[in-house]
Structure 1
Amino acid sequence: MGFLPLSYRRPGYVEKEQFQRSNSFLTENEGSNASLKSGSSKNSNGIPDALTFDRVMSGGTCPPCTIRDFMNYLLYVEHAAENLQFFLWYRDYVERFNDADTSDINLSPEWTQAMEDETAAKIQKDAIDKLRKGPKTTITIFKGTDFEKGVADVTVVEKRNPFSTPPPTPSVNDASSFLSGPQVSGYRTHIQDAFSAAGTTQPFTIQPFRAEINRIITTYIMTDSPRQLNLSSRQQKLAVQALAYTTHPSALRSVARAVEDTLRRQAHPNFTRWSVCNGNRPRVHFARALGAGILGLSTAGAVVMVLSSAEREWRALFALGWVLGIATLGAACRGLCVVLHGLHRRHVRPWELFDASTSVAPPPASSPSSSSEEGSELEEGRRKSASTSLDSFGSSNSYEDEPWVVRYERRNIVRKVFDREVWIQEPALRQIQDAIFVQSVLAGLLSAGVLTAVFVSVPAGGFF
């Protein structure tokens, strides 16, 4: 593995709003869809080939850049774990559907692109018709806009209850009939409301995987679902109507494409940028303060020497402080603690810290068995923290009630600064950190040279 160039820059942070605005200008066929087919990413500058999205998804990376770490980042930092959860389920569902060798598989025909375009046009036309039949004030508001022309995506907010239409009578073979007790009525009403809101009827359940598809609708697609995806009203209706027709994976083509586009071009670059930071927030703030302190003290000492009658050569001694201060401050501004980097270690994440066993003190850093023991212990902690988030049909992605949240908040600031550390196993990540460290040191040397030349050239004040 070669070295990264000195001009390397880690991935820039992609704001959700910025990504959504830029993504709205891309057509499905010419923009994001093309990037997905090629495996490229427009916001992936600064991501080495060893840390690409496809590499992470295929399990070709080491901690802290694995798919499990990616899920934890989306859950605890980005608060968008539902995208990866749906992506993993859909990828697995496509494989299972294609491998299915049953007689009823032909009951789920493919949802073609022509059918999708026709349904989307019908949804848009119905929305415009409802708008025109609505109150005159509503028409006046949107007069002369793209909404009136039928160009933009239409989201109709009706005054009446969208679920007021009487739901169709469920089939005897409905998947909810396999439930027992009070769950039956609630589940039937929930899934019926989803199809009614989309303007279609609940299908028969003789198609393969129908029960699983119904759970996907109530978990990810319909409004107020526990893991609701960020879909427009048009996308929701289009997906539900497609799933009412077939359980073929192509029915979720547009949803899967939008989710994967978000993961590739927004979530994954942010995850890579976040993984570069080897210290927690208190440690990074401490490193910044330390670098600024060293830089300030060195500058103050040089000023005192200039005002004194000491020889000019003594002022050059402060160059060492300038190098250390600027290098430490520059690296900390990019989330890197130079002390931890020198050991190629990182702080343990809060959700990993309390999942791993803490009853036995960790071995010394110099111990040959330190990395392997810590790695296995932390891997167990990662499994525990991601066990529920990797479940495709779990509850909502809320972690406020998890025990580690309160325990970590009670931890004093000194313990957070000097929290437990673990070896960084991913070589590509260490390579990125090496590049940032070298850049910071070179910036320190260059700045210290300039400061030294300035202070040495100033005549002595001779005040004392």
Structure 2
Amino acid sequence: MVYPLNYRRPARVSHVSSRESMTGAEKQKSISESITSGSSGMSHGIPEALSFDRIIAGGVCPPCTVRDFMNYLKYIELAAENLQFFLWYRDYTNRFNELPERDQVLSQPWTKENSEPETQPRSKKFDLEAAAVLKGTEFATESGARVADPEKNNPFFTPPRTPTSEMKREGGESIDSYEGSLTFGSKNNHNDRATGAFQSAGLKWKPLSVQPYREEISRIISIYIADGGARQLNLSSKERNALLHALQNTTHPSAFRDVVTTVEWSLRCQAHPNFIRWTICNGNRPRVIFARGLGIGGIVGGFIAAIVITLSSASRAWRVLSIIGFLIGISTLIAAWKGMCVVLHGMHHRHLRPWELFTSDDESDGYDLKGESQDSLSSSNSYEDEPWVAKYEKRNVVRKIFDREVWIKEPALRQIQDTIFLQAIFGALVLSIIIVGIFCAFPKGNYF
């Protein structure tokens, strides 16, 4: 089964600053349109089977999985932090929503009204709820004072600091148990960087340490938001300051709403189409260049055969034999122009990517969405020092052309490649007939 012959692979989306000229509402509208068009069948050359949501949900096979998407963003687009942050946010939202209500009430949802410069004081209802939750603890006195004295009804008020690990979920699990999976940097270092980020944004009050996941939010600020972070997101100054203002007041997932919209828009409308376009290519660059050379060679061979036969005393019927060279050469060239090698396609194979060549099967298969989400805080995205870089550079060109191959498991991707192959054959057939017809119109040369 193939797609219609007028199918066009996804167009290359340039990562320009166009997103900065779009408002949050425009980005959200674009995201909604992407979801709607993706669920309706084919969206901009991307079938529903390879939609962004299906890839994130783990409903595709290699080479279109979340891990493949992550590797593409890390090694090709150099923007893996967007997907890493997006996966962390999804996991964080689920964990926050599973907290007991007595913990969730400490971090109220963040609304647009809160972000206005002249925001209204926190409602007395919230202070009463917080006081009830903290009754009998060392925070009760401070909470009660805030209810009794309106002058202390300050969203930036910091009670005496207590380690968040003392706060337990139902069943005895620490709400900061996620800390155990994080290995990048020390707690104090993250807290210092988060404090520095707040101060650089002109926010002098310290956040409430009693709020759930406050230590984890400090790590997120240190790694993704603060200047010089290991995986700093590409945010505008306005977006960054608005996010820090929100995170100073609450750890509720809604504080990330605007930033997540920007990140998701970048992933859906830029990175995802480029990833599918890149994945369609079944050969590495040396192999594709080699295929283009073969295509040009076939075309040249066809021209030589047609010219020789035309100049000879042979009948016009013999000139038709030159169509073989034209057909092979043009079809190979068209496929190579779209990044495909027809030889690899004949077996539905693809070359292993450079970073896959030196990875063991255990490392490549031991992956799941939750694991990637937890690993999203572990290190920077720099790969220049990874062992495969030096090893791949030492391989000679001939070895790269005939690198290891692997079968393409994703059916939707094979269908796209089948469609492109048929387009190449059809286009080559039409052009070959035209060229041979022109040669057949000439009279015999009778030179030999």
Alignment partners' CA distance in 2, 1:176 and 1:79: 36
Corresponding residue for residue 200 of structure 2: 197
Q: Alignment partner for residue 29 of structure 2, among 11, 34, 46?
A: 34
CA gap 1:188/1:396 in 2 versus in 1, 3 angstroms: same
**Aligned to 1:6, what secondary structure does the other structure show?**
coil
Corresponding residue for residue 394 of structure 1: 378
Alignment partners' CA distance in 2, 1:91 and 1:225: 21
Corresponding residue for residue 305 of structure 1: 309
CA gap 1:413/1:48 in 2 versus in 1, 3 angstroms: same
Alignment partners' CA distance in 2, 1:303 and 1:406: 48
Give the alignment's TM-score, normalised by structure 2: 0.81
Q: Alignment partner for residue 354 of structure 2, among 350, 359, 362?
A: 350
* 1:302 Cα deviation after fit: 1.1
Corresponding residue for residue 84 of structure 1: 83
Q: What does 1:168-247 align with in structure 2 at a 5 Å threshold?
A: 172-173=161-162, 186-200=189-203, 201-247=205-251
Alignment partners' CA distance in 1, 2:345 and 2:186: 54
Q: What does 1:18-57 align with in structure 2 at a 5 Å threshold?
A: 20-21=17-18, 23-29=19-25, 31-37=26-32, 39-40=35-36, 44-57=43-56
* 1:452 Cα deviation after fit: 1.0
* 1:457 Cα deviation after fit: 1.1
CA gap 1:399/1:345 in 2 versus in 1, 3 angstroms: same
* 1:26 Cα deviation after fit: 3.5
Corresponding residue for residue 72 of structure 2: 73
Alignment partners' CA distance in 2, 1:394 and 1:286: 39
Alignment partners' CA distance in 2, 1:218 and 1:277: 37
Corresponding residue for residue 318 of structure 1: 322
Alignment partners' CA distance in 1, 2:310 and 2:22: 60
* 1:389 Cα deviation after fit: 8.8
Corresponding residue for residue 408 of structure 1: 392
CA gap 1:244/1:264 in 2 versus in 1, 3 angstroms: same
Tell me the alpha carbon deviations over residues 344-397 of structure 1, each in whole angstroms, 9 at most, x when there is no partner. Answer: 1111111111113xxxxxxxxxxxxxxxxxxxx4x7436489988971212210
**Aligned to 2:87, what secondary structure does the other structure show?**
helix
Alignment partners' CA distance in 1, 2:264 and 2:440: 58
Q: What does 1:255-334 align with in structure 2 at a 5 Å threshold?
A: 255-334=259-338
**Aligned to 1:415, what secondary structure does the other structure show?**
helix
Alignment partners' CA distance in 2, 1:444 and 1:186: 62
Q: Is 1:417 aligned to 2:401, yes or no?
A: yes
Give the conservation status (yes or no) of the 8 Å contact 1:44–1:265: no
Give the conservation status (yes or no) of the 8 Å contact 1:176–1:188: no
Letter in 2 for 1:412: N
**Aligned to 1:346, what secondary structure does the other structure show?**
strand
Alignment partners' CA distance in 2, 1:101 and 1:186: 29
Alignment partners' CA distance in 2, 1:119 and 1:186: 30
Alignment partners' CA distance in 1, 2:223 and 2:356: 27
- Aligned pair count reads 390
Alignment partners' CA distance in 1, 2:188 and 2:366: 35
Corresponding residue for residue 431 of structure 1: 415
**Aligned to 2:406, what secondary structure does the other structure show?**
strand
Tell me the alpha carbon deviations over residues 176-235 of structure 1, each in whole angstroms, 9 at most, x when there is no partner. Answer: 9999xx957644432221110111122121000100111000010111111000001111
**245-254 vs 187-196, which deviates more?**
187-196
Coordinate RMSD, CA, aligned: 2.8
Give the conservation status (yes or no) of the 8 Å contact 1:174–1:204: no
Alignment partners' CA distance in 1, 2:373 and 2:354: 16
Give the alignment's TM-score, normalised by structure 1: 0.78
Give the conservation status (yes or no) of the 8 Å contact 1:44–1:269: no
CA gap 1:390/1:322 in 2 versus in 1, 3 angstroms: farther
Give the conservation status (yes or no) of the 8 Å contact 1:170–1:202: no
Structure 2 residues not aligned, in runs of 5+: 120-156, 167-175, 180-184
**Aligned to 2:114, what secondary structure does the other structure show?**
helix
Structure 1 residues not aligned, in runs of 5+: 122-167, 357-376
Q: What does 1:440-455 align with in structure 2 at a 5 Å threshold?
A: 440-455=424-439
**Aligned to 1:16, what secondary structure does the other structure show?**
coil
Alignment partners' CA distance in 2, 1:385 and 1:264: 21
Alignment partners' CA distance in 2, 1:389 and 1:60: 17
CA gap 1:171/1:220 in 2 versus in 1, 3 angstroms: farther
CA gap 1:170/1:223 in 2 versus in 1, 3 angstroms: farther
Letter in 1 for 2:396: N
Alignment partners' CA distance in 2, 1:40 and 1:226: 35
Give the conservation status (yes or no) of the 8 Å contact 1:71–1:390: no
Q: What does 1:85-100 align with in structure 2 at a 5 Å threshold?
A: 85-100=84-99
**Aligned to 1:316, what secondary structure does the other structure show?**
helix
CA gap 1:336/1:275 in 2 versus in 1, 3 angstroms: same
Letter in 2 for 1:272: I
CA gap 1:252/1:332 in 2 versus in 1, 3 angstroms: same
Corresponding residue for residue 381 of structure 1: 364
Alignment partners' CA distance in 2, 1:348 and 1:223: 36
CA gap 1:172/1:233 in 2 versus in 1, 3 angstroms: same
Letter in 2 for 1:427: P
Tell me the alpha carbon deviations over residues 251-274 of structure 1, each in whole angstroms, 9 at most, x when there is no partner. Answer: 010010100000000000000000
**Aligned to 1:114, what secondary structure does the other structure show?**
coil
CA gap 1:208/1:196 in 2 versus in 1, 3 angstroms: same
- Percent of aligned positions that are identical: 51
Give the conservation status (yes or no) of the 8 Å contact 1:89–1:392: yes
* 1:44 Cα deviation after fit: 4.4
